[in-house]
Amino acid sequence: MFPSLAQYAMAAILLLIPKHGPESRTLNDIKRMSGIARSMSGATNDAVDNDGIMWIGPSAQELNVLALAVTVHRESKFDKRIQYCYVRGDHGKSITLYQMMRPWALQRKEGNHWVTRFTTGELCGDVRLASGQALYLMREAQGGNPIPMRLFQQYTTGSPNKRVPRVVQRCMIWQRLAKRMGLRDMRDGKIVDISCWRRPENVIIDPNINVDLIVAHQFDLHPEYKNEFGGVSSD
């Protein structure tokens, strides 16, 4: 049975966080980290329901979740202080795990105008809401089926054409994670790797890869999360 989107998100997060060093300590906060994974998956499902998902294909949701996970990892390293906005970036303008910059973090577009829809407190207190807004800003910036590198450049620097090493590194982490998590692009009848440099045509799970085992292996390495999510086994 294919893992749930929340289990898939949690496995991706476990792959992103180093096993040793200061960042690894975030994994001790099991309830909070599990909540982040569930919020990412919930926000992605909300986006599907509202035609707000990025990319196309039967596994586009999984690719969206990976974009959220990598963004949080690079922007805030899942830091609790940043999640609740006790610490803010860009001289206090950037908020939440996604470090979205105000005023746009609080706004959505209506016609040709940006209108305030949220408060800082709402986004800082609700990871699902923040995840949904991050997805919205990504999609609004580059449309529904973006070239990944341009998407990450736009989100990080404000320009789709401003290529800086840290953005290239971010996209390459996402590309490698997508491959490791079994995602591929079906192009002209051929299964190829997801690439930062081209727009995916049809996002799928590689039929030759057992994603159940990939996810289950991560939970086996972190039994405390296996207990939290349940129903995941490599046996």
Phi/psi of residue 184, nearest 5 degrees: -140, 170
In our burial notation (b when 16+ CB lie closer than 10 A, e otherwise), range 30-52 reads: eeebbbbbbbbbbbbbbbeeeeb
* pLDDT tops 90 at residue 162: no
Helix 30-49 to helix 127-142 angle (10° resolution) is 40
Residue 232: pLDDT band (50, 70, 90) is low
Q: pLDDT tens digit string along 40-82?
A: 999 999 998 887 889 999 999 999 999 999 999 999 999 999 9
Per the prediction, the chain carries an average pLDDT of 93
Structure confidence at residue 128 (pLDDT): 98
Q: Residue 234 has what pLDDT?
A: 47
Amino acid at 52: G
pLDDT for 41: 97
Structure-token pair, residue 120: 């800082």
Burial (Cβ within 10 Å: 0-12, 13-18, ≥19) of residue 153: buried
For the chain, which domains are there? 5-226 (1.10.530)
The stretch 126-138 carries a mean pLDDT of 96
